[in-house]
């Protein structure tokens, strides 16, 4: 049973985990969090990972039998360190769950011809047709939809190695476009959709290098605040002629259109996209199990439970 010192130690470790998770939770909803969202990190996953880690620490703390008065600081650091594989493990399991849902939604068995779609949850694939395009924000290429991000080298000047790129901004967008698998067109509204696009290009700027004439940065604050550091812009697009897989909700408010926050736009066929997500879900699931297993084993050894 935990004594007062041990309870204090658990409270401190819990606060460290909680505030670190809270930072990631709110950062996830900012433009800089877009790459994490595309990889399957969700706010719900952050909550699950945090609660799971804190719960595991508390359980082993109360069940443990260890004299912490001799080395309180060392045990505290060890507890916080062990929480890292626990958090990553629980988060990996949640990412696996998210990617598994994408795999099920985009499974080829769910494919409906674009000309036969009806309102409701749908999955389809086809070639992007029509001339509805706009200029992508980083390269200016003609595109139907796009996603972009910008990384800055050690943006806050606190890195220990000086060569860590951090994503500080990002976004996505597009125009309503059509796809057709030969059976008839259907419109896709990419606003608010999760995107997994292709034709990725980068634009790099060295410290104090001015953007080329004609380049209007989609992140003016980055150029204003971090012009003295290396910046790398990355952009992926879908353009006319590309083959895409779509999962989302079809509505008939103004003719049949697939759109909304539940919509997923991915480059490639349903089969290829589903296979990609299945493999990623398996990888994150295995990594999550290993992380949780290692964290639980180390924590049990630290607190003398086993």
Give the residue ranges of DSSP H helices in 226-306.
270-303
pLDDT for the residue 260? 86
Instruction: Give the residue extent of every domain in the chain.
Output: 4-104+280-303, 112-269
Predicted TM-score (pTM) above 0.75 = yes
pLDDT tens digits, one per residue of 185-242: 999 999 888 889 988 999 888 988 887 777 778 888 888 888 888 899 999 999 999 9
d(CA 278, CA 270): 12
Looking at the chain, the whole-number percentage of residues with pLDDT higher than 70 is: 81
Tokens 């909680």: give the residue: 18
Reduced to 3 states, what is the DSSP secondary structure of residue 83?
Answer: helix
pLDDT for the residue 60? 75
In this prediction, residue 268 has a pLDDT band, given cuts at 50, 70 and 90, of very high
Tokens 């060890």: give the residue: 78
For residues 183 and 173, the answer to whether their CB atoms sit within 8 Å is no
Q: Say if residue 120's pLDDT is above 80.
A: yes
Of 70 and 188, the structure prediction assigns the larger pLDDT to 188
Query: What DSSP element (H or E) covers 52?
Result: helix 43-63
Q: Say if residue 253's pLDDT is above 90.
A: no
pLDDT for the residue 6? 54
Q: What is the DSSP secondary structure assignment for residue 156, as one 8-state letter?
A: T
Give ∠ CA 216-217-222 in degrees, rounded to 5: 150
Q: Say if residue 70's pLDDT is above 70.
A: no
Reduced to 3 states, what is the DSSP secondary structure of residue 215?
Answer: coil
pLDDT tens digits, one per residue of 151-171: 898 877 655 445 788 888 888
Adjacent-strand bridge partners of 172: 147
In this prediction, residue 281 has a pLDDT band, given cuts at 50, 70 and 90, of very high
Average pLDDT, the chain: 82
Q: Say if residue 124's pLDDT is above 70.
A: yes
pLDDT for the residue 1? 46
Lowest mean pLDDT among 124-128, 209-213, 259-263, 294-298: 209-213
In this prediction, residue 278 has a pLDDT band, given cuts at 50, 70 and 90, of very high
pLDDT for the residue 64? 67
CA dihedral sign of residues 258, 263, 268, 270: negative
Q: At what angle do helices 43-63 and 270-303 cross, to 10 degrees?
A: 20
């Amino acid at each position: 049973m935990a004594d007062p010192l041990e309870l204090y130690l658990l409270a401190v470790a819990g606060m460290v985990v909680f505030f670190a998770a809270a930072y990631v939770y709110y950062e996830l909803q900012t433009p800089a969090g877009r790459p994490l969202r595309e990889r399957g990190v969700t706010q719900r996953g952050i909550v699950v990972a945090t609660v799971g880690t804190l719960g595991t620490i508390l359980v082993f703390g109360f069940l443990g039998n260890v004299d912490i008065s001799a080395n309180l600081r060392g045990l505290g650091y060890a507890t916080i360190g062990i929480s890292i594989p626990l958090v990553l493990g629980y988060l990996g399991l949640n990412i696996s769950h998210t990617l598994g849902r994408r795999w099920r939604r985009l499974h080829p068995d769910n494919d409906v011809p674009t000309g036969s779609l009806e309102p409701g949850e749908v999955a389809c694939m086809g070639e992007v047709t029509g001339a509805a395009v706009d200029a992508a924000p980083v390269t200016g290429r003609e595109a139907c939809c796009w996603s972009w991000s910008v990384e800055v080298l050690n943006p806050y000047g606190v890195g220990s190695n000086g060569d860590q790129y951090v994503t500080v901004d990002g976004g996505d967008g597009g125009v309503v476009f059509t796809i057709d698998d030969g059976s008839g067109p259907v419109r896709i509204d990419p606003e608010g959709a999760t995107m997994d696009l292709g034709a990725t290009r980068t634009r790099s700027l060295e410290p104090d290098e001015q953007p080329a004439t004609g380049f209007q940065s989609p992140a003016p604050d980055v150029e204003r605040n971090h012009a003295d550091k290396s910046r790398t812009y990355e952009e992926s697009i879908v353009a006319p002629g590309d083959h895409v897989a779509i999962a989302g909700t079809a509505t008939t408010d103004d003719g049949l259109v697939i759109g909304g926050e539940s919509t997923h736009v991915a480059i490639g066929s349903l089969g290829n996209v589903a296979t990609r997500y299945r493999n990623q879900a398996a990888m994150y699931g295995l990594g999550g199990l290993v992380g949780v297993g290692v964290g639980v084993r180390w924590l049990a050894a630290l607190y003398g439970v086993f």
